[in-house]
A and B are shown apart, each in its own frame.
Chain A
Amino acid sequence: MKSSKKQHNRYAKWQNLLLVITLLFMLVSALPNMYPEKAIIDVTTKKTAAHQLSAQLIPEFSPGYVKQILNEHNIEVDEITTSKNTTKVVLTDKSEQQSAEQLLIETLHQNYLIDSSIGNNSPVWLTKLGGQPIKLGLDLSGGVLFVLDVDTERAMSDKISDIVLDIKTMAREQRLRAIKVNQVNSVSLNIGFSSSNGSENSALFTKILATYPELTKSKVSNQHISFSYSEQEQVKFRQETMKQTLKTMRGRIEELGITEAVTQKQGKNRIRIELPGVQDPKEAKRIIGATASLDFYQLAKNARDVNVKRIRNDNGKLLTLNNKVVFSGSNIKNARAGRDEMGSPLVNLSLDSIGGDKMSEFSKSNIGSPMITIFSEFYRDANNEVVKKSKVISEAVIQAHLGSQFSITNMESSAAAQDLSLLLRAGSLSAPVTIVQQRTIAATLGADNIDNGIKALTIGVTITLLFMAIWYRRLGVIANVALALNLISLLGLMSLLPGAVLTLPGIAGLVLTVGMAVDTNVLIFERIKEELKKGRGKMSAIDSGYKNAFATILDANITTMITGIILYSIGYGPVKGFALILCLGILTSMFTGVFVSRALTNVAFSHNKGQLLGVQQ
């Protein structure tokens, strides 16, 4: 009887082993956070200099010399190491990186290459395991600021030229030959017609206004009429374009999993993006990504047609396209790379309802003919003019009547499929966007504020730990160990997620989650106390205490988890970050509060003698 109870009370060896392995894994993941990020400046001897001008190398150059230069300007050096041609300088204060780099370039640029980076000072074995510290938010460590210019003027002009093409098609469908349509400027177009076929003309005009209700018709002369965007409609169009671009940018940042970025509209046509924790602007630029757009075209049936667009593909072959796009990137809802039954790579696309309708109509009448995908990117040239660069990225044959779901097959490789799907996902910008400003920004909170915050949190945690140890004695100490392990596990889990960002409120939330994890242990211990009062033996009280409290803990945590998951999936910014901490915190507190503390209790109490929680047997 007694021995069977003991069996109940203990974890099997493999269970304990599993716990230890999990905890060790978390510990290793959390470890890189112990090594703060440091600014590193590499001073490398220029190759040519070493060969030809060795005599002219600064004779006194040595690690000590570099240190001396920096110290003269009040820049503290943490560590200097030298290898063959490179001297690596680690700065004490990360914020001094730029001035230090500038200084070294000024003094040493003739013979040395100066390159600075942000690196983790963690030991080599840890770096090899791929450990990364948690990224810190804008308030704690700053980040990079980008200001994007959205060329709404260009988007407007593009829209007008689309309308011109559409009107030409309408006219052809109605067999109106003597019609001339041309774009006047970025907001209006002109139609020249012969006054002889009046009724057909007015039918066409009615149709134009029905399709594009935002246009205003005005008579120029007896044979000319103009359609234009009124002031109001122009403003509306710009606002819509900005809204769309802002949404796309937020979506892109979200897709990369960065929770604490700031994206705002700045002035009339700019977007301000602040990304936390990206010290390397090149990487951030890649994130903001291709300021690209995508369009899908049909090959022109007749190469001498007026409405054609000519473009060369990668092999230099000239393609003649029907000028009207079938649908554009903004109609793409999602794109994923995959493989067909034969194992050859493809990209699966799903379109929104508008794109789906267009595709369905187009593909029905064009089975067997190719569809061309063109990727365009905007950049500013030397004269600061926006230039559009287009490239054919795919030529695919339409094989069946397609709807909103279809795939692009015949991809060269799965890497190409991956790239294309990424471009398709990110390509839904309707207006050209260029980066006009880029800066590294400092932490919003001063060092004092951060120190105070951390101090306050330490005081809070200490109060909790002291209370637990005094109130529950030995069990309290176990709870405290479990809490510490919980904090480590939570840090470890967060380090494993690439997008997780910690802000000061986030850290406070983290500490609170851990604080609330006390609850798990309090519930269990109060249960044990109750069982002891009922007159149960110590071991059996512990056993049923853990068992009974578990159902309650599970219910309470699952409900909170539901809320957390829903808010994570649609929340934004700090709300999203907080929901993430909450969900992970629930997982780790269940793990450490129930299983780990149980294993610890097993180790600490092995017989029924003595009293527990102040209850006399």
Chain B
Amino acid sequence: MSKVMSRLRIRSFYCAAVMVAFALAGLFTQGLNLGLDFTGGYLTEFSTNKTVNQQEMLAKVTPFLEEGFELTSAENGKYWTVRAADNGTNANAWLNDFVKSINIQGTVQNDNVQVDSLMITPQDAIYIGSQVGEELINQGGLALLAAIFSILLYLSLRFEWRLAMGSVAALFHDVILVLGIFAWLGLSFDLTILASILAIIGYSLNDSIIVGDRMREIMKSNTESEIDTIINLAIKSTIVRTLITSGTTLATIGAIWFFAGESLHGFAVALFSGILVGTYSSIAISATVPQLLGLTADYYQQQEEEVCQLP
């Protein structure tokens, strides 16, 4: 039984490695489909002669624009702003068509029945820059590095460097896989998705540490001599907890995915896949890497004499 489990674990480790390679291939060939937050784009503004509700206007505008635009209203639904990607063509083109179609409808209706029909006046079309400055992107990269080093340091002090490496490897796996999914599926990557990557990091670490913590405990109690058995035992005794936590979290995210609609769709996809791969990697990677790096069962027995462990 234990042999089967170990083999399965090693196999899933290689499987994880293959998936990371696949995700990286996606990132390099497809690239991330960066959202307006990062790329900037065109801002077009128009005003209406009467108050229009956000939903109605959205329905009217949608046929004229490519996916991924943002519509905002001001002045009680009489002044409208559309942010859309810079697709190389004239930014005004869609607005002209849109204005024509609405205003023609208006005049036709005018002749027949309705008097106060909707009229649109175009206002402005102008280029807008990204929400995120260059310096922030550089800083962000530095920050991630700093975060990873701090985690490595803390875990090395508290556990053991090989266990720390396992957690960080799992972390990389999770983040890369989610980014890979976004690259392959061409889903829009905006600041909200970046934020959900942050939640995935937190979740992934949590999962890895709980397995690592149990490994340490079993090693300390000195009842097993095989590192293989220790890892399997640790996974077995934490599996119920892992499944319950992942399950309930996935249920919440699933509800967001199905019921919350378009606005939280990308967010739900990122978190759902992040938690799935996070659960997988806590078993396949963070528990297996220390073994591959040569962690032995009697590590803590050797340590005991020299260092006074924290409780």
A→B interface (CB under 8 Å): 95-96, 98-99, 139, 145, 243, 246-247, 250, 262-267, 270, 272, 439-449, 452-453, 455-457, 459-461, 463-464, 467-468, 471, 504-505, 508-509, 511-513, 515-516, 518-519, 522-523, 526, 530, 551-552, 555-560, 562-564, 566-567, 569-575, 577-579, 582
Q: Does B222 contact A (CB under 8 A)?
A: no
Least Cβ–Cβ distance between A565 and chain B, in angstroms: 9
A136 to B147 Cα, complex, angstroms: 29
B248 at the binding interface (Cβ < 8 Å): yes
Q: List 22 A-B contacts (CB under 8 A).
A: A246-B133, A262-B131, A266-B126, A272-B43, A441-B72, A444-B71, A453-B264, A456-B256, A505-B196, A505-B267, A516-B202, A526-B238, A551-B213, A555-B159, A557-B206, A560-B205, A567-B147, A569-B143, A572-B136, A575-B140, A578-B196, A579-B198
How many Å from the CB of A534 to the closest CB on chain B?
A: 12
What chain A residues lie within 8 Å of B73 (beta carbons)? 441-442
Tell me whether A566 and B147 are in contact (CB under 8 A). Answer: yes
Residues of B within 8 A of A264 (CB): 40, 128-131
Contact in complex: B131, A439 (CB < 8 Å)? no
User: Contact at A562–B150, with CB atoms within 8 Å?
Assistant: yes
Interface residues of B in 136-158 (CB under 8 A from A): 136, 139-140, 142-143, 146-147, 150-151, 154-155, 158
Option from B129, B154, B244 in Cβ contact (under 8 Å) with A265: B129
Residues of B within 8 A of A557 (CB): 206
The answer to whether A512 and B129 have CB atoms under 8 Å apart is no
- Report how far A573 CA is from B255 CA in the complex, Å: 26
Min C-beta distance of B246 to chain A, whole Å = 9
Indicate the member of A456, A471, A582 with the most B CB atoms within 10 Å. A456
- Which among B51, B143, B192 has the greatest number of chain A C-beta atoms within 10 A? B192
- Cα(A264)–Cα(B74), bound, Å: 18
Known contacts A439-B75, A508-B267; is-contact A263 B131 (Cβ 8 Å): yes
Residues of B with C-beta under 8 A to A145: 74
Q: Name the A residues within 8 Å of B132 (CB-CB).
A: 572-573
- A-chain residues with CB within 8 Å of residue B54 when the two chains form the complex: 442-443, 446-447
Which residue from B81, B238, B255 sits with its C-beta under 8 Å from A463?
B255
1/0 per residue, CB under 8 A from A, across B154-198: the answer is 110011000000010000000000000000000000011011101
Set of chain A residues within 8 Å of B158, measured between Cβ atoms: 555
Question: Does B67 belong to the interface (CB within 8 Å)?
Answer: no
Q: How far is the CB of A591 from chain B (nearest CB, A)?
A: 17
Known: A145-B74, A456-B256. A523 touches B210 (CB 8 A): yes
Whether the Cβ atoms of A452 and B261 lie closer than 8 Å is yes
* Cβ < 8 Å to A, chain B residues 95-137: 126-133, 135-136
Residues of B within 8 A of A (CB): 37, 40, 43, 51, 53-55, 58, 70-77, 79, 81, 126-133, 135-136, 139-140, 142-143, 146-147, 150-151, 154-155, 158-159, 167, 191-192, 194-196, 198-199, 201-203, 205-206, 209-210, 213-214, 237-238, 240-241, 244-245, 247-249, 251-256, 258-264, 267, 271, 311
Q: A522-B244, A558-B154, A578-B199 are in contact. List 20 more A-B contacts (CB 8 A).
A: A139-B263, A265-B40, A265-B129, A266-B126, A272-B43, A439-B79, A440-B75, A449-B262, A452-B260, A453-B264, A461-B252, A512-B252, A518-B248, A563-B202, A566-B146, A566-B147, A567-B198, A577-B195, A578-B198, A579-B195
